[in-house]
Amino acid sequence: MKDSFPYARHPSACIYCGHCVAVCPEDALQHIGEKKGEFILKTPDSNNPVDFFATRRSIRRYTSQPIASDILQQLISIAETAPSGHNARKRQYHIVKTQYAIEKLEKITANHYRRLLNISPLILGFLSVVSPRKAKKMAKTFQGLKRLVAAADKGHNPFYRGVPCVIFLTAPKKQYTGKDDCLAAQQILMLRAHQLGLGTCSIGFALRAHKALEKYLNIPKNRQIYAVTIVGYPKYHYKKAIYRPVEKCIF
Ligand SMILES: Cc1cc2nc3c(=O)[nH]c(=O)nc-3n(C[C@H](O)[C@H](O)[C@H](O)COP(=O)(O)O)c2cc1C
């Protein structure tokens, strides 16, 4: 808040997710993304099955309520109904539930990006010679990463959001469709979680740090982390659902 009004702290970092307007309990915010057709806001109707999908949000604020083991088991059982190349079903689910271990994941991931930022001037110097356009884009990415690492240093948990549970999906490195298999299961897991009143978010930032995370989690050397999901009970409830207009639908 600034002068009693909400304001965007980093407008250039806005990804048009629409969360700010969808979550506001008073319907007090507007977003330029609505006018630009990036999304359409609607009050969800619990009888409309489409609204089930539209009300799934990437949740980044959680209560500290732990998730019972039988619920986690349910999530994984349903996730395993997902397709897999050649019906390989070689996925494994590594569940991290202790606060100590989740804080450690946060540190490991932040350290990965800290190291990357240390060499960022070299990367940017090289890119500005071979592709100035890419260098400009990369500089923006590094700005975002700097903010995340600074937030981690302040103990704000920017990567795993202080969640009570993190699920890592792994597959054998040799499995040709391993990554696709994990991503397919992750989406089903997230929708089942939404059905059970749980919130989730894919953590792509964790994937870049997969080697250090695999070491910490004692994941066998022949396997790789291909999907990471945080799961917990949402702290806030969303008043509106976001619908995304389809830009390209070719028949
Ligand atoms: C592959 C992938 C990686 C993502 N990584 C992150 C992440 O590291 N951190 C995060 O907060 N959100 C992450 N997200 C969530 C997206 O930002 C989110 O899906 C998008 O903004 C749309 O919001 P919605 O999921 O609520 O509709 C990721 C999503 C996907 C599909």
Are 187 and 212 part of one and the same domain? yes
Report the greatest alpha carbon distance in the chain: 59
CA of 129 to the centre of ligand 1 (A): 32
Strands of the sheet with 223-232, listed across from one edge: 92-96, 165-172, 223-232, 199-202
- Reduced 3-state DSSP string for 68-102: CHHHHHHHHHHHCCCCCHHHCCCCEEEEECCHHHH
Tens-place pLDDT, residues 36-54:
889 999 999 989 999 999 9
CATH number of the domain within which 87 lies: 3.40.109.10
Are 109 and 29 part of one and the same domain? no
Q: Is residue 63 part of a domain?
A: no
Q: What percentage of the chain has pLDDT greater than the value 70? A: 100
Judge residue 81's burial from the number of C-beta atoms within 10 Å of its C-beta, 0-12 exposed, 13-18 middle, 19 or more buried: exposed
Q: Is residue 251 part of a domain?
A: no
Q: Is residue 115 part of a domain?
A: yes
Q: Is residue 28 part of a domain?
A: yes
CA of 186 to the centre of ligand 1 (A): 13
Q: Is residue 117 part of a domain?
A: yes
The pLDDT-based confidence of 146 (bands split at 50, 70, 90) is very high
The pLDDT-based confidence of 245 (bands split at 50, 70, 90) is confident
pLDDT value at residue 250: 82
- pLDDT of 248 strictly over 80: no
Which helix (H) or strand (E) covers residue 232, if one does? strand 223-232
Residue of minimum CA distance from atom 3 in ligand 1: 204
Are 87 and 194 part of one and the same domain? yes
CA of 58 to the centre of ligand 1 (A): 6
Instruction: Give 3-state DSSP helix, strand, coil % of the chain, rounded to 5.
Output: 45, 15, 40
Are 166 and 212 part of one and the same domain? yes
- pLDDT of 10 strictly over 90: no
CA of 60 to the centre of ligand 1 (A): 10
Which helix (H) or strand (E) covers residue 141, if one does? helix 132-153
Are 126 and 31 part of one and the same domain? no
DSSP symbol at 62: B
Task: Give the residues surrounding ligand 1 with Cβ less than 6 Å away.
Answer: 15, 17, 57-58, 60, 201-205
Are 136 and 17 part of one and the same domain? no
Are 165 and 183 part of one and the same domain? yes
> What mean pLDDT is predicted for residues 80-103?
97
| Domain span at 20 | 11-56+238-243
Are 162 and 89 part of one and the same domain? yes
Residue of minimum CA distance from atom 25 in ligand 1: 58
Q: Is residue 123 part of a domain?
A: yes
> What atom in ligand 1 is closest to the CA of residue 244?
27
Mean pLDDT over each residue of the chain, to the nearest integer: 94
Mutate to test the pocket of ligand 1, among 202, 210, 231 (most ligand atoms within 8 A of CB): 202
DSSP symbol at 164: S
Are 163 and 148 part of one and the same domain? no
Are 177 and 213 part of one and the same domain? yes
Q: Is residue 140 part of a domain?
A: yes
CA of 85 to the centre of ligand 1 (A): 25
Number of domains in the chain: 3
pLDDT value at residue 71: 98
Are 186 and 218 part of one and the same domain? yes
Q: Which residues are paired to 232 by β-bridges? A: 199
Are 35 and 140 part of one and the same domain? no
Using CA atoms, how far apart are residues 169 and 203, in angstroms rounded to an integer? 11
